[in-house]
Amino acid sequence: MKILVVGGAGYIGSHVVADLCEKGNDVFVFDNLYSGSIENIDKKAKFIMGDVNSENDLDKLFKIKFDIVFHFAALKAAGESMDNPEIYSKNNINGTINLLNTMVAHDIKKIVFSSSAAVYGYPKYLPIDEKHTIKPINYYGYTKKVIEEILNWYGKLKEINYATLRYFNAAGYDINERIKEREKTTANLLPIVLECAVGLREKLNIFGDDYNTLDGTGIRDYIHVNDLSNAHLKAMDYLNKNKNNLVLNLGTGHGYSVLEVIKMAKKITGKEIKHSVIDRRAGDPEKLIASSDLAKKTINWEAEHSDLEKILTSMWNLYSKI
């Protein structure tokens, strides 16, 4: 198959590109390298530098007749999206509209879209399933909500067939070590913990230890990036065989607390991880856990590599080389 991966130089996209190439697909990566790394693109894929904000770049790109599009390109820092919503509107919402309109103009009908657990906002119940209310509490989550709604309309009006995948906390690196460069600017807990282990950071701030959890620290559902990638390939197979659209959570159904993460990181790295507790951060729920029963039912997917030890070990393979 001829496959376009928009944002395929990024953290999750590069893992999916590696898997798509391994399966013998003809893969094209389109990326502006804002946060991606060219070294992480599988050598079998063709790289095209470009921006989803440029209709001209997209028109040139779609001279190639793709069978399906994967869309990873977005800005993803929730905090930054509250300070600077304009760039999130432009990059995430406008960029996706440009991409969809170009797909329509070139009669390309299938897309797998990276959405996020951020569409749900505060959990009303756990685990969160796909029927949970959609009420984002940051602008980043709002951009994903808007794109999901646009996909729904384009599905009805333009016969675009989509799989919307709502990731919980993506973590880990390729267990087969095909990905060489780590993410350089991430605000996620696990990379920060390992940055402390290698001395790139002095210490970790824990935002509150008085939550209603076993050790008082917040709990999140961490999903290994190889599991995420696997779900993308299964979603693609589904779209190739069915006319139905998919909206699926991707998580594990259980979570780890901040202190559990620190303890496991100490065990794996053999390093001290200095930390101190500061005030809770506004907008942080105590627990976020996904139900992925629907993904199991519809695409026969479930997490296989997402226990904390395996996730952190796969990350340590990269961080220990710094």
Ligand X SMILES: NC(=O)c1ccc[n+]([C@@H]2O[C@H](COP(=O)([O-])OP(=O)(O)OC[C@H]3O[C@@H](n4cnc5c(N)ncnc54)[C@H](O)[C@@H]3O)[C@@H](O)[C@H]2O)c1
Question: Are the C-beta atoms of 160 and 151 separated by less than 8 Å?
Answer: yes
Question: Are the C-beta atoms of 75 and 140 separated by less than 8 Å?
Answer: yes
The Cα 158–Cα 138 span in angstroms is 30
Q: Which residues of the shown chain bind ligand X in the complex (CB under 6 A)? A: 7, 9-13, 31-36, 51-53, 72-74, 76, 91, 95, 114, 116, 167, 169-170, 183
At its nearest, how many Å lie between ligand X and the CB of residue 43?
17
At its nearest, how many Å lie between ligand X and the CB of residue 120?
12
The residue (of 141 and 217) whose beta carbon lies closer to ligand X is: 141
3-state secondary structure of 18: helix
At its nearest, how many Å lie between ligand X and the CB of residue 272?
26
Task: Enter the DSSP assignment of 35.
Answer: S
The residue (of 178 and 271) whose beta carbon lies closer to ligand X is: 178
Active site residue 140: yes
At its nearest, how many Å lie between ligand X and the CB of residue 44?
18
Of the candidates 140, 173, 222, 319, the residue annotated as catalytic is 140
Question: Are the C-beta atoms of 217 and 206 separated by less than 8 Å?
Answer: yes
DSSP labels for 142-165? Answer: HHHHHHHHHHHHHHHHH--EEEEE
Alpha-carbon dihedral angle through residues 2, 227, 136, 213, given to the nearest 10 degrees? 180
3-state secondary structure of 235: helix
Question: Are the C-beta atoms of 111 and 68 separated by less than 8 Å?
Answer: yes
The residue (of 82 and 277) whose beta carbon lies closer to ligand X is: 82
3-state secondary structure of 59: helix
Radius of gyration of the chain (CA): 19
Nearest residue to ligand X, scored by beta-carbon proximity = 10
The residue (of 185 and 212) whose beta carbon lies closer to ligand X is: 185
At its nearest, how many Å lie between ligand X and the CB of residue 228?
9
φ, ψ of residue 270 to 5 degrees: the values are 70, 15
The residue (of 53 and 313) whose beta carbon lies closer to ligand X is: 53
Cite the active site residues.
140
